[in-house]
Amino acid sequence: MKTKIFCDIADYKTIKFFNNKKFVDGFTTNPSLMRLAGAKNYKNYSQKILKICKKKPISFEVFADNSKDMLKQAYEINSWGKNVYVKIPVVNSKGFFTGSVIKELSNRGIKLNITAVYTFEQTKKIYKKLNKKTKSIISIFAGRMADKGKDPLPIFKKSISLTKKNKNIEILWASTREIYNYTQAKQIKCNIITMPPKVINKIDGFGKSFNSMTLDTVRGFLADSKKSRFSL
């Protein structure tokens, strides 16, 4: 099974660049990335992106904090294109599970990306609400778990085992920190991994021999010492 590679970015020029790369299968965005990209009008900026990303799946997240407004925004975002996944956080800012929102949208055939998932219990609750005939993604934040000293692999393995019989529901490795995470994702047969550009750019060196890495490292030290004109 292939682990699909998504690029986690909202910058228009960067999406335009990676959209032309065959090994990049899709994109993920979130309100923080949209702000970082300088978006002033959420809809206008998203539609600008969709003019270049017409076929590959791309996720745009709701930013409302209550069920009524989440649904309103979700229906609007869904109308932007057939390749659009609507991103819904697993809970709102008060900690309330967004299950009713997930269930309604999924039953209406709207493709969802359920985000900010950290536990297998959350995965199970989401899975119960999803219409198994509707394409959906469950995004588990591996990197942020690891940042807190937690091993994300057990949660991924359980989640993948739960959803593997349904081809419409995919598990996504989110908050990627390093290129080795791609190897980990492939080893556990994770459906998708989303990576920031700085990590994706390291794919070209993927599988490089340790001997070559030793030479590159030593040559780098030598070049820097010469530039600094060190002497003893």
Residue 173: the pLDDT is 98
Q: How far is CA 174 from the centre of its chain?
A: 5
Average per-residue pLDDT for the chain? 97
**91 in a structural domain:** yes
**132 in a structural domain:** yes
Domain count, the chain: 1
**Given pLDDT bands bounded at 50, 70 and 90, which one contains residue 1?**
confident
201-226 pLDDT, tens digit each:
998 777 789 999 899 999 999 999 99
pLDDT at 3 over 90: yes
**224 in a structural domain:** no
Say which CATH number the domain at 179 has.
Answer: 3.20.20.70
Residue range 93-120: average pLDDT?
A: 98
150: containing domain:
4-205
**221 in a structural domain:** no
Residue 194: the pLDDT is 98
**230 in a structural domain:** no
pLDDT at 135 over 80: yes
Q: What are phi and psi of 163, to 5 degrees?
A: -100, -10
The per-residue DSSP string of the chain comes to: ---EEEEE---HHHHHHHHT-TT--EEE--HHHHHHTT-SSHHHHHHHHHTT-SSS-EEEE---SSHHHHHHHHHHHHTT-TTEEEEEESB-TT--B-HHHHHHHHHTT--EEEEEE--HHHHHHHHHHS-TTS-EEEEEEHHHHHHTT---HHHHHHHHHHHTT-TTEEEEEES--STHHHHHHHHTT-SEEEE-HHHHGGGGGTT--HHHHHHHHHHHHHHHHHHTT---
**223 in a structural domain:** no
**178 in a structural domain:** yes
Residue range 27-40: average pLDDT?
A: 97
**222 in a structural domain:** no
